[in-house]
């Protein structure tokens, strides 16, 4: 299959998810499609919460390395990349795809280490939102841009020394920019690599890109069987399970409805952060998340 983009058919496409297995299809048969989407969103955010808990034992870059390595192994089994017949330009696109994927995950986890989950995901979500707005020619989209900008202004710690970290905001914004690039490169790779082998190739490149910083910062902690198992669990919750559920949902519901439900992800991240990590947001921060969610829903409905 080709890789979807937010402006095309499947809503915000997550970085490193793989094809569903038969066990997921069987288990999801009795669940309504909207429930599958909600379960997918919760799986992603619970995976992020588990990753954030690991930051007390490993630095974010090492956790990213474990997650991407686990994803690369799974994808390598499901869709082994074949380089025969590919041109240099094809390989260049695949390499750019992989570098963007690796930097995106690293930036997101570094932002997650410095910001509450809901805030980090909200800022990152500006990337796919920007792609959706850029793909449209409607004047009404200016409203969504204004709403999103208002949300960011509400989050910015203007003159508040005890507020959010500017460094964390910068990392989350970088993750969002990489997510936008990822969406565009996923489309290009999907046209050059058969099936999901483009994503598999990109995951291998991402491992190579992240390995130096991940191994150096993780050190001997990466040899702990417990931490390796937890890292694999993060990859499973953040990648395999949610994408499987999403593909199953897309077989049963209109793609626009799917995209609108996916726009609720920042709010879901804030709720998981509150319940799992005890991250309490103030009224201004919840209002900022609401602005971005409304902007994303509006842009998706109009695209």
Tell which wins on pLDDT, 254 or 44: 44
DSSP state of 30: T
Residue 17: predicted pLDDT: 43
Q: Which residue has the higher pLDDT, 186 or 95?
A: 95
Contact (CB, 8 A) for 199 and 96: no
Dihedral sign for Cα atoms in the order 98, 114, 117, 300: negative
Q: Is pLDDT at 104 greater than 90 in this prediction?
A: yes
pLDDT exceeds cutoff 60 at 161 = no
The pLDDT value given to residue 106: 95
From CA 204, how far away is CA 68, in angstroms rounded?
Answer: 8
Is 50 exceeded by the pLDDT of residue 111?
A: yes
DSSP 8-state assignment for residue 31: S
Tell me the per-residue pLDDT of 50-88, one tens digit each, with 9 for 90 and over: 999 999 899 999 999 998 888 788 777 776 777 777 888
In terms of DSSP H, where are the helices of the chain?
22-28, 33-54, 60-78, 88-112, 117-124, 126-134, 141-155, 166-192, 197-218, 225-235, 241-250, 255-262, 265-277, 283-302
In angstroms, rounded to a whole number, what is the distance separating the alpha carbons of residues 5 and 14? Answer: 10
The dihedral through the CA atoms of 213, 214, 216, 217 has a sign that is positive
Nearest-angstrom CA–CA distance, 126 and 119: 11
Residue 4 in domain: no
**Within a domain: 1:** no
Classify residue 115: in a domain, yes or no: yes
pLDDT, tens digit, for every residue of 280-297?
Answer: 988 989 999 999 888 888
- Answer yes or no: is 3 within a domain: no
Spacing of C-alpha 142 from chain mean position: 25
Q: Is residue 28 part of a domain?
A: yes
Of 88-92, 132-136, 152-156, 158-162, the poorest mean pLDDT is in: 158-162
pLDDT of residue 235: 82
The secondary structure of 141-163 as a DSSP string is HHHHHHHHHHHHHHHS-TT-TTS
10 assigned to some structural domain: no
Give the pLDDT score at 303: 58
Domain count, the chain: 1
**156 falls in which pLDDT band (50, 70, 90)?**
confident
The 8-class DSSP code of residue 44 comes to: H
User: Contact 285/155 with Cβ under 8 angstroms?
Assistant: yes
Mean pLDDT of the 155-184 span: 83
Length of the chain: 303
Quick one: 217 exposed, middle or buried, by C-beta within 10 A (0-12, 13-18, 19+)?
middle
Write phi, then psi, for 86 (nearest 5 degrees): -85, 140
Question: What is the residue range of 253's domain?
Answer: 22-302
Kindly report the average pLDDT of the chain as a whole number.
81
In a domain, 16, yes or no: no
User: Which tokens in the block code for residue 215?
Assistant: 């191994």
In-domain check, residue 9: no
């Amino acid at each position: 299959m080709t890789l979807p983009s937010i402006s095309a058919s499947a809503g915000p496409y997550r970085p490193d998810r793989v094809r569903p297995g038969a066990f997921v299809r069987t288990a999801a048969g009795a669940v309504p499609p909207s429930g599958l989407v909600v379960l997918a969103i919760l799986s992603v955010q619970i995976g992020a919460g588990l990753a954030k808990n690991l930051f007390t034992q490993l630095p974010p870059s090492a956790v990213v390395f474990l997650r991407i390595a686990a994803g690369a192994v799974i994808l390598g089994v499901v869709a082994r990349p074949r380089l025969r017949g590919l041109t240099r330009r094809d390989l260049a696109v695949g390499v750019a795809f992989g570098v963007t994927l690796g930097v995106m995950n690293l930036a997101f986890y570094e932002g997650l280490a410095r910001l509450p989950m809901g805030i980090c995901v909200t800022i990152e979500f500006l990337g796919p939102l920007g792609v959706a707005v850029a793909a449209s020619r409607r004047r009404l989209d200016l409203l969504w841009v204004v709403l999103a900008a208002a949300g960011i202004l509400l989050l910015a710690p203007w003159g508040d020394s005890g507020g959010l970290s500017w460094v964390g905001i910068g990392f989350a914004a970088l993750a969002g920019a990489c997510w936008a690039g990822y969406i565009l490169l996923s489309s290009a790779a999907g046209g050059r690599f058969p099936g999901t082998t483009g994503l598999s190739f990109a995951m291998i490149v991402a491992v190579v890109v992240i390995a130096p910083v991940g191994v150096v910062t993780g050190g001997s902690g990466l040899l702990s069987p417990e931490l390796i198992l937890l890292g694999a669990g993060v990859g499973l919750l953040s990648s395999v399970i949610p994408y499987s559920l999403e593909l199953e949902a897309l077989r049963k519901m209109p793609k626009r409805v799917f995209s609108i439900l996916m726009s609720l992800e920042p709010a879901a991240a804030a709720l998981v952060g509150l319940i799992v990590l005890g991250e309490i947001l103030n009224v201004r921060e919840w209002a900022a998340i609401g602005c971005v969610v409304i902007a994303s829903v509006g842009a998706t409905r109009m695209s």
